[in-house]
Structure 1
Amino acid sequence: MANEVKRKIILHWNCRGLSEFPEVIRLHGSHIQEIYLKWNKLTTLPSWIMELFNVTNLYMYGNLIKQLPTEFGEMSQLTVLDLSANKLEQVPVCIGNLSNLKSLLLNDNLIERLPAELSQLSNLEILSLSGNQIVALPEWTGSLPRLKELYVDNNKLKELPNRLTMAAELAMISACSNRLRYLPLNGFLSAPCIRFDANEYLNYVSYPLLFQLLSRLQMTAIHDRAALAFGCFKTHYNTNVLNTNIKLYIEMKGLYETNDDVIIELPRQLLRVHEAHENVTCSLWELALRKVYTERYKHTLDVSPTNVTILYKPLSKNIKPDFTWSSMNYALYSLLTNGPASICVNSQCQQPIFTEAWIIIGISRHAESMITIALCCSKSCATAFATCSNTTIKLHWHSIN
């Protein structure tokens, strides 16, 4: 083993029945750059592993690892870490210190949540968490500045973080086989490829996101909903979860033989909704959110059947919590940081929408038999959009909670 270590820079010791990390690597392997110890019987890693200062890629797939030593966080040179198919119930917080990490693979463990320490991974490009027990992703996943690919298939997710819509580099989101009730309503800044098959309670999509999905398929219309996602857009609804969210009862009126009336669930950020004809006053809370947000960010949405253009940028280079921010209600700060639920779909408006919206629900002629929802910031914008847009068959709805 020593001779093999001495003459190699990439060490392949997969399937060797190892129950401990071989100390021969410590003695003779200071030059090793990549280590493959897949399908062994390791339960942890030694504290001296931080002495392997040239290792950039570490593959520990298919072991019995339950925890890592705190010293592991000193391996700041690591760029790839694969701990998939182990016995991790919690993500070791020391991983948050791996400042150069680009790929973190934690598939097929027993993880239920992500620690806040992972938000420090400013160079992370690939985060793969499929096959765990995660119920909710933290909003900060959308603030990882270089995140390009996010894989969270086969978890227990009920929603995706709204802040992902503002992730500048995101090219892929895969969230198949979860428990999603809705996707973010706003368009995504980076227009990523989104895979969300087998989310059986996901039964509608927003107007801006629909056109982003269609543009990804290089199509202007679809006649089969399965082309967007297989196993979604059904009529049934699970009433046992997320009962605090607003739910809307939609009358289909027999438009399609196989479609009964439908219940849809709105994102938890929305606290109050109105029909397009309702002439009510917008809350001061919502108006304050819009005012503060538009003073700090430029966020616009332009939707057409062939293109979705989104612009998002801070108007000030140094937007950080200061005395004014810290004195605000935490909920207000969180809403502003996580971004609006949508931008008003009236192209002449572009106001951000946070907690209150005028909603138009219909069947898009670009996606036959699929429910589409459009959000406006006021009655006047909703009326203008409903009058000028000929893209939907408008449906009647009412709130059931």
Structure 2
Amino acid sequence: MKDLVCELRHYTSLPWNYRRLKSLPPELVEEGTHVAQIFLKCNLLESLPDRIGNLTRLTYCYLSSNKLSSLPESVGELVSLQVLDVGNNKLKALPHSLGRLPALRSLVAAQNQLTCFPQELCNLKTLSILMLSGNHLSSLPEDFGNLKGLQGLYLDNNNLKELPRALTSLPILTRLSCCSNALLFLPALPFIRHPYIFFDNNPHLSYLSLTLVYQSDGWTISNLQTTGCFRNIEAESNRVTVYTGRSPRFSKQRGLILPLQIERVTLPSTGKVTLPSLKELCLRCVWKAVEPVKGNNYKEVSVKDQLGIKPESMPTVLHHNIKYGPVAYCNNSLCGEPIFSFTSIKVVPVFNTPKLESERRKVPMVLYFCCDVCSIQYSEHIHRNTDEFSLWMTDCLRKSMCVEVV
């Protein structure tokens, strides 16, 4: 321990990896305010000093492969910290105070026992790399959309059933890895950027949205990695069963799984047109009033400021959907209305990646429409056009599968 104290007093970088340390010298928080880097990988640490926040000049802190079960709240006082690596420990939670770190660029918390991601961490505007693989996460907050500086997000080997829609709005996201989860679907909204998306080994994932298919046309072969996906989804007798995400039977039968937010689905049929519910129409009306900006770069405008309505006075379901935005937008190019809980769908078999095309396999794809009228109009519209894309889509529609809504 004396040797450690001697190093502490003479150096700004402390190479204390592989020292089998069970605790840190108390002098660290008293005399270590000049320390800029500390390397503590592969030790036996079970806790950190409560006053570790005194190290206000610390920029790099590597604590991977220890026995840490928690981090002190004082880590939120490390105002110069840029890199924090706490991977391969026994952490069950991250301190909320991490959300106060103004300079944090990289947070590695992979291979722990995390069950939730603190919403406060979504305030980290400078965060570029976030590694959460190998935990027990079942959901992520929609406030992930606030992480505007995020470039790489790693979520492999968790229990995630869906990804936040807000991920699609991240302006510089270049890599998203969510392999080996329980994903039911990928976001139906288009990504602002074309990130590399890895989603192998999600056994319940049975379709790609039209927006991903659109974007994959302009991506390189490696942008969408689908090895191991869609292995068990086939059309039996040209018939596919469509389940909403709430159906408990989706894991026992083949079928397409729609986003959890979709509460009602219709299929357009000749002579019968189903219109959206009153709730759906209200959501669209309020959304357009709150979010006047067109395109993908939506401004963060509160319902209260725009409409003079207190959120607590609105029905909970309306406020929740307005806050998190639509599930998708109508695929009718003449419409483009947002879709929150009601959709009219068409299911078409397409080659959605070069890998599947090389194997001559087709995968069901869902096209979202805000109502039956738009679905019918879209079908008529593409028959009237002769450009290359319309011919391709027309051929897909002609081969459309019969769909039974469950």
Which has the larger share of strand? 1
CA deviation profile, 1:152-198 (whole Å, cap 9, x unmatched)? 00111111112222223322211011111111112112332211111
Alignment of 1:25 onto 2:28:
yes
Q: Which residue of 1 aligns with 2:255?
A: 263
Which has the larger share of helix? 2
Q: Distance in 1 between matches of 2:373 and 2:170?
A: 31
Alpha-carbon distance, 1:7 to partner? 4.0
Q: Tell me, what secondary structure is at the counterpart of 1:61?
A: coil
Per mean C-alpha deviation after superposition, the further-off stretch among 52-61 and 114-123 is 114-123
Amino acid at match of 1:295: A
Q: Distance in 1 between matches of 2:374 and 2:248?
A: 22
Alpha-carbon distance, 1:365 to partner? 4.9
Alpha-carbon distance, 1:216 to partner? 2.3
CA deviation profile, 1:187-234 (whole Å, cap 9, x unmatched)? 112332211111122111011112223422269xxxxxx973111113
Q: Give the total of aligned pairs.
A: 370
The answer to whether the Cα contact below 8 Å between 2:80 and 2:103 also exists between their aligned partners in 1 is yes
Q: Which residue of 2 aligns with 1:38?
A: 41
Shift of the 371–242 alpha-carbon distance from structure 1 to 2, 3 Å rule, reads: closer
Amino acid at match of 1:231: G
Q: What RMSD in Å do the two structures reach over aligned CA positions?
A: 2.8
Alignment of 1:66 onto 2:69:
yes
The one of 315, 339, 348 equivalent to 2:334 is: 348
Alignment of 1:335 onto 2:327:
no
Q: Which residue of 2 aligns with 1:303?
A: none
The answer to whether the Cα contact below 8 Å between 1:342 and 1:375 also exists between their aligned partners in 2 is yes
Q: Distance in 1 between matches of 2:45 and 2:10?
A: 24
Q: Distance in 1 between matches of 2:168 and 2:259?
A: 14
Q: Distance in 2 between matches of 1:334 and 1:79?
A: 34
CA deviation profile, 1:316-362 (whole Å, cap 9, x unmatched)? x7546445041212221221222211111111211111111110111
The answer to whether the Cα contact below 8 Å between 1:122 and 1:144 also exists between their aligned partners in 2 is yes
Alpha-carbon distance, 1:27 to partner? 4.9
Alpha-carbon distance, 1:247 to partner? 8.0
Q: Which residue of 1 aligns with 2:403?
A: 397
Alignment of 1:95 onto 2:98:
yes
Q: Distance in 1 between matches of 2:367 and 2:249?
A: 15
Alpha-carbon distance, 1:83 to partner? 0.8
The one of 206, 228, 233 equivalent to 2:230 is: 233
Q: Distance in 2 between matches of 1:366 and 1:79?
A: 39
Q: Which residue of 2 aligns with 1:276?
A: 268
Q: Tell me, what secondary structure is at the counterpart of 1:132?
A: coil
Q: Tell me, what secondary structure is at the counterpart of 1:324?
A: coil
The answer to whether the Cα contact below 8 Å between 1:201 and 1:234 also exists between their aligned partners in 2 is no
State percent identity of aligned pairs.
33
What are the residue-to-residue correspondences of 1:2-401 with 2, within 5 Å? 2-217=5-220, 228-235=225-232, 244-245=246-247, 262-277=254-269, 278-297=272-291, 311-314=296-299, 318-319=301-302, 321-322=304-305, 323-326=308-311, 327-365=313-351, 367=353, 368=357, 369-387=362-380, 388=382, 389=390, 390-391=392-393, 392=396, 393-400=399-406
Shift of the 373–134 alpha-carbon distance from structure 1 to 2, 3 Å rule, reads: same
**What is the TM-score when the length of structure 2 is the normalising length?**
0.83
Q: Which residue of 2 aligns with 1:254?
A: none
Per mean C-alpha deviation after superposition, the further-off stretch among 325-334 and 152-161 is 325-334
Q: Tell me, what secondary structure is at the counterpart of 1:187?
A: coil
Q: Which residue of 2 aligns with 1:257?
A: none
Shift of the 82–227 alpha-carbon distance from structure 1 to 2, 3 Å rule, reads: closer
The answer to whether the Cα contact below 8 Å between 2:57 and 2:79 also exists between their aligned partners in 1 is no
Q: Structure 1 stretches (4+) deviating beyond 4 angstroms? A: 245-249, 365-368
Q: Distance in 1 between matches of 2:170 and 2:283?
A: 21
Q: Distance in 1 between matches of 2:219 and 2:231?
A: 22
Q: Tell me, what secondary structure is at the counterpart of 1:361?
A: strand
